[in-house]
Amino acid sequence: MDPFELLKADHRKVEQLFTELESATGKKKLDVFAQIRMELELHAQIEEKIFYPALEEPKETHELALEAYEEHAVVKDLLKQLGRARSADEEWEAQAKVLQENVEHHVQEEENELFEKAESALEEEELEQLGERMAAEKEKKQSSAGKASKKSSKKSGTSKSASKGASRSTAAKRTGGSKKSSKKSSKSSGSKSRSKKSAAKKR
C-alpha cells in the first residue's frame, strides 16, 4: 500500500467537501462541515500516530514533520470553534474560509515537500509497511465510529420511548386521581343531602 496515495485520496475528498461547503446554505452547510470535521480528524489521527513519527528521525523530514504537528493543532482548534456554532452566520463562514486556507496550505506543503523527502529518506519496504498500517488504522477507526453512531441513535430512540411511557403513566395517574377525587366529592355531597333530609323530617 502506497502511503502517499492513501493520504492524497483523503486530501482530494476534503477538497471536494470544501467545494460543497461553499455552495451549501442553511443547515446543509453545517452538515457538510460535520463531514469535513470527521474526515480531517480521522486523517490527522492516522498521520500523527503512524506517518509523522516515522518521519521525525530522518534529517530530511525532521523539521517538516514537527511543523506538520503544529499545523494540525491550528486546524483542530478551528474545527472545535466552528463545531460549537448552531448556525452558519457571516462570522462562521469567514472562520470556515480560514480553516480551508490552512488545510490547503498544509496539503500543498505535504504533497510538494514532505512526501518527496519522505520517499527519498525511507526505504521502499518501510513505506509499504507504513501504508499498510495506515490503511488498517483507518479502517479500524471508521468501523468504531460507525458502531458509536449506531449506539447513540439507539440510545436516543430508547430515551424517547421511555419519556413517552413516563408521560403516559403520569397522565394515567392524574386521570385516576381526578376520578377518585370526583368519587369522594360525590360521596360527601350525598351525605350532606341525607343530613338535610333527616333534619327536615325531625321538624
- The confidence score (pLDDT) of residue 171 equals 53
Q: Please list, residue by residue across 142-174, b when 16 or more beta carbons sit within 10 angstroms of its beta carbon and e when fewer do.
A: eeeeeeeeeeeeeeeeeeeeeeeeeeeeeeeee
Checking phi first, is residue 52 left (phi over 0); if not, alpha (psi -120 to 50) or beta? alpha
Q: Per mean pLDDT, which range of 70-74, 102-106, 164-168 is the poorest?
A: 164-168
- The overall average pLDDT reported for the chain is 84
Confidence of residue 79 (pLDDT cuts 50, 70, 90): very high
Which is more confident, 181 or 46? Answer: 46
Q: Hey, what domains does the chain have and what are their CATH numbers?
A: 3-145 (1.20.120.520)
Which is more confident, 157 or 108? Answer: 108
Q: CA angle at residue 4 from 8 to 125, to 5 degrees?
A: 165
What percent of the chain shows pLDDT beyond 70?
73
